[in-house]
């Protein structure tokens, strides 16, 4: 199952890489970052409730004393990081926002060491280094990058990385008691309850019913959210948080390729080098079976 776990994580991250298409599509109709986050979490919550009711209503049962798990995944992570990410896209660019978001693996690696006592191996550190360098090359920050990015854009971008990292941390705790479907469901229910009342979406019902807006809503709600998070959360059950987060950095690579093939954006040699580095990190982070088993046994003993 371990190899399939990485496949699920990569597929989920690839779907996340599509999100800028739908975000930009909604921005064209005048929606604010807060409203786009609301559209994302509300649509996702509705879809997930339908799926769970059809598949297995028992998955909706939780101990409400565990609500803090979902406050963590839904509010501190999903709402916070999405607002920061979508604001960073407006303030900087999709590429710059992506690299700032992917400071998350470094945060997850450090937090996982402190909270879960996960091994900080040389292989993992090497993969993390390749990932960070690769992401920098992909967005074109170096060589020859510009310094025109606003301080506010950098701050909210870095905060998006922190919020993104918190999903892996809180999610790991929640998965000790609940299935991946239950965790994902309540993540978006809590996120919706927290943000929808402040969105003002009811003032734009006519716009929401336009065909293009509906298509972008389905894209951001189903493909880049529900399906993506289910795949990632399933994989997270079998993979350490830090390793899962590093593997998910395939997302900015996907975003870059979409820019090249869909929007005819040029792909420089440095960007191609960055893609290769990130893909190499994904392979390197998967430790040999024997080594992983040894670490697992040691962790259980501790």
Q: What token pair was written down for 182?
A: 């239950």
Q: Which helix (H) or strand (E) holds 200?
A: none
C-alpha span between 285 and 56 (Å, rounded): 35
Determine contact, residues 31/199, Cβ cutoff 8 Å.
no
Q: What token pair was written down for 127?
A: 């993969």
What does pLDDT average to over the chain?
82
Determine contact, residues 184/233, Cβ cutoff 8 Å.
yes
Mean pLDDT of 240-247: 76
The total number of structural domains in the chain stands at 1
* pLDDT tops 90 at residue 36: yes
Q: What token pair was written down for 81?
A: 């990081």
How does pLDDT run across 119-128, given as a tens digit for each residue?
Answer: 778 877 887 8
* pLDDT tops 70 at residue 301: no
Produce one character per residue of 163-197: b if its CB has 16 or more CB atoms within 10 Å, e if not.
Answer: bbbbbbbbbbbbbeebbbbbbbbbbbbbbbebbbe
How does pLDDT run across 128-142, given as a tens digit for each residue?
Answer: 888 788 777 776 666
C-alpha span between 229 and 8 (Å, rounded): 10
Question: What percentage of the chain carries pLDDT values higher than 90?
Answer: 40
What per-residue confidence (pLDDT) applies to 133?
86
Mean pLDDT of 253-261: 79
C-alpha span between 171 and 166 (Å, rounded): 8
**What does residue 27 show for φ and ψ, rounded to 5 degrees?**
-60, -35
Residues 6+ away with beta carbon under 8 Å from 183:
69, 70, 73, 171, 174, 175, 233
* pLDDT tops 60 at residue 160: yes
C-alpha span between 254 and 78 (Å, rounded): 21
What per-residue confidence (pLDDT) applies to 140?
66
Mean pLDDT of 2-31: 90
* pLDDT tops 80 at residue 197: yes
Q: Which domain range does residue 84 map to?
A: 2-301
* pLDDT tops 90 at residue 232: no
């Amino acid at each position: 199952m371990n190899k399939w776990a990485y496949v699920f994580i990569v597929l989920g991250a690839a779907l996340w890489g599509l999100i800028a298409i739908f975000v930009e599509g909604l921005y064209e109709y005048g929606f604010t970052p807060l409203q786009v986050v609301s559209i994302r979490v509300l649509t996702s919550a509705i879809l997930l409730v339908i799926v769970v009711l059809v598949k297995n209503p028992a998955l909706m049962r939780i101990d409400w004393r565990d609500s803090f798990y979902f406050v963590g995944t839904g509010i501190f992570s999903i709402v916070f990081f999405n607002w920061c990410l979508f604001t960073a896209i407006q303030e900087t660019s999709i590429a710059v926002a992506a690299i700032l978001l992917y400071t998350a693996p470094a945060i997850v690696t450090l937090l996982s060491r402190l909270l879960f006592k996960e091994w900080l191996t040389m292989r993992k550190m090497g993969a993390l280094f390749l990932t960070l360098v690769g992401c920098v090359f992909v967005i074109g920050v170096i060589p020859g990058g510009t310094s025109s990015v606003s301080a506010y854009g950098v701050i909210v971008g870095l905060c998006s990385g922190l919020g993104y990292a918190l999903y892996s941390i809180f999610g790991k705790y929640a998965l000790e008691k609940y299935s991946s479907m239950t965790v994902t469901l309540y993540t978006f229910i809590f996120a919706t309850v927290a943000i929808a009342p402040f969105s003002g979406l009811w003032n734009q019902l006519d716009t929401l019913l336009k065909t293009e807006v509906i298509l972008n809503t389905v894209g951001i709600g189903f493909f880049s959210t529900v399906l993506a998070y289910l795949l990632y959360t399933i994989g997270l059950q079998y993979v350490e948080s830090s390793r899962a987060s590093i593997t998910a950095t395939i997302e900015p690579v996907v975003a870059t390729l979409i820019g090249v093939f869909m929007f005819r954006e040029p792909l420089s040699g440095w960007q191609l080098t960055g893609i290769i580095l990130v893909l190499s990190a994904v392979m390197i982070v998967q430790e040999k079976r024997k080594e992983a088993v040894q670490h697992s046994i040691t962790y259980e003993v501790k």
